[in-house]
């Protein structure tokens, strides 16, 4: 069977508050050739993002077929090991996809290490990131000579302490180790579509959201939406993917632009992870494949915005509480509205 060759790059990933250090991490192409996940001391940053890149001196390689790795969870002071077959055929299909300009959607295979031996694998590019696998490693014990060959007399706790500082230390002192189920909640997949609705807010009416009159010349017209999700995925392609039912993690950030007459608008939502995790779990229950809509209701003239979940059969949408997200809106590049709880740093909407 003839192998296809790809311009592959590999990166590691670990959450900012729960850093990890790679002992070794190899993506085996065959019995003799492997791609190495680049090391960083430690790996930590936004979950799923490209944190380091292996520079390849080759014109292309076949897609890897197996993952073999050992890594150190810094806050746990624990080593984990994992060997797993990869979904090679799916990776090949995805890697060949391009955007509207003919540019490849994906540039990196990203391997993420979460607490308690959990491992995520993504394909990632500048405008698109998809989750491939959510895996479970096993806890192992390594001798000092094996775990720290360059300094076999260093204790694991002393080695880890040099990385447990700043926000990592503050979080550990305040909250301790994360709950075992935390990252399963973060990586949970739900079936939904994003539905932007530009309507008029009537707080004193029985039906509070009302459609614009058909002859209204100021009806907003959506241009595009971008989404970044808590599971490390993102979609910044200006297509109709988000408006169709799809399985995805819960949204973490939503950006949208629209026009009203000659005016250009943009809105940026940052959605609170802890509050919305509970809301999604109660809304879906055990049936995460239930088809649902995440409604993004907007009335820029009234400066009123809502996020809500809805599925067929409900008498009304489940409105997310305003405190569960932060929002800023611009009109013609000037700030037009910000939510009362908005606390983001300047230019945080550039992502």
Taking only the tens place, the pLDDT of each residue in 245-282 is: 999 999 999 999 999 989 999 999 999 999 999 999 99
Domain ranges of the chain: 10-185, 190-338
pLDDT-above-90 percentage for the chain: 81
Question: 153 to each of 18, 146, 149, 150, 157, how far by Cα in Å?
Answer: 25, 11, 9, 9, 12
Reported as a single tens digit per residue, the pLDDT across 274-302 is: 999 999 999 999 999 999 999 999 999 99
Reported as a single tens digit per residue, the pLDDT across 127-167 is: 999 999 999 999 999 876 676 666 776 788 888 999 999 99
CB 91 within 8 A of CB 67: no
Closest CA to 194 of 267, 262, 125, 133: 267
Which is more confidently placed, 55 or 128?
128
For 230, the 3-state DSSP assignment is: coil
Q: Which residues contact 134 (CB under 8 A, 6 or more apart)?
A: 118, 119, 120, 187
Reported as a single tens digit per residue, the pLDDT across 163-205 is: 999 999 999 999 999 999 999 999 999 999 999 999 999 999 9
Q: In terms of DSSP bridges, do strands 34-36 and 221-229 run parallel, antiparallel, or are they unpaired?
A: unpaired
CA–CA separation, 101 vs 45, rounded Å? 30
DSSP track, 189-216: -EEEEEEEEE-EE-TTSSS-EEPPPTT-
Which is more confidently placed, 61 or 214?
61
1: pLDDT strictly greater than 60: no
Which is more confidently placed, 215 or 159?
159
Question: 7 to each of 15, 39, 62, 63, 144, how far by Cα in Å?
Answer: 27, 20, 9, 9, 37
* List of long-range contacts for 284-289, beta carbons under 8 Å, 24+ apart: 284/190, 288/188, 288/189, 288/190, 288/191, 289/191, 289/247
Which is more confidently placed, 252 or 39?
252
322: pLDDT strictly greater than 70: yes
pLDDT of residue 160: 92
């Amino acid at each position: 069977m003839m192998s296809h060759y790809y311009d592959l790059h590999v990166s590691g990933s670990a959450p900012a508050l729960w850093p990890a250090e790679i002992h070794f991490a190899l993506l085996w192409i065959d019995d003799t050739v492997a791609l190495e996940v680049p090391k960083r001391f430690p790996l930590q940053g936004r979950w799923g993002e490209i944190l380091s890149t292996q520079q390849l001196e080759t014109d292309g390689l076949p897609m890897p077929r197996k993952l073999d790795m050992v890594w150190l969870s810094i806050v746990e002071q624990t080593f984990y090991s994992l060997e797993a077959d990869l979904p090679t055929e799916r990776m090949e299909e995805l890697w060949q996809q391009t955007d509207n300009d003919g540019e490849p959607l994906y540039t990196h295979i990203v391997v993420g290490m979460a607490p308690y031996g959990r491992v995520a694998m993504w394909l990632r590019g500048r405008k698109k990131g998809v989750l491939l696998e959510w895996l479970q490693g096993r806890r192992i014990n390594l001798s000092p000579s094996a775990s720290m060959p360059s300094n076999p007399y260093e204790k694991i706790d002393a080695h880890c302490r040099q990385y447990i500082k700043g926000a990592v230390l503050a979080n550990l002192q305040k909250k301790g180790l994360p709950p075992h189920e935390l990252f399963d909640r973060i990586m949970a997949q739900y079936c939904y579509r994003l539905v932007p609705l530009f309507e008029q807010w009537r707080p004193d009416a029985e039906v509070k959201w009302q459609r614009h009159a058909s002859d209204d010349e100021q009806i907003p017209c959506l241009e595009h939406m971008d989404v970044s999700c808590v599971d490390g995925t993102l979609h910044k392609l200006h297509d109709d993917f988000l408006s169709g039912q799809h399985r995805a993690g819960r949204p973490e950030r939503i950006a949208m632009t629209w026009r009203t007459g000659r005016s250009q608008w943009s809105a940026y939502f940052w959605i609170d992870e802890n509050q919305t995790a509970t809301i999604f779990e109660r809304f879906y229950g055990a049936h995460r494949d239930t088809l649902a809509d995440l409604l993004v209701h907007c009335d820029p003239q009234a400066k009123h915005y809502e996020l809500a979940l809805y599925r067929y059969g409900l008498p009304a949408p489940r409105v997310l509480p305003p405190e569960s997200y932060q929002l800023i809106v611009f009109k013609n590049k000037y700030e037009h509205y910000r939510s009362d709880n908005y606390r983001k740093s300047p230019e945080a909407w550039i992502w």
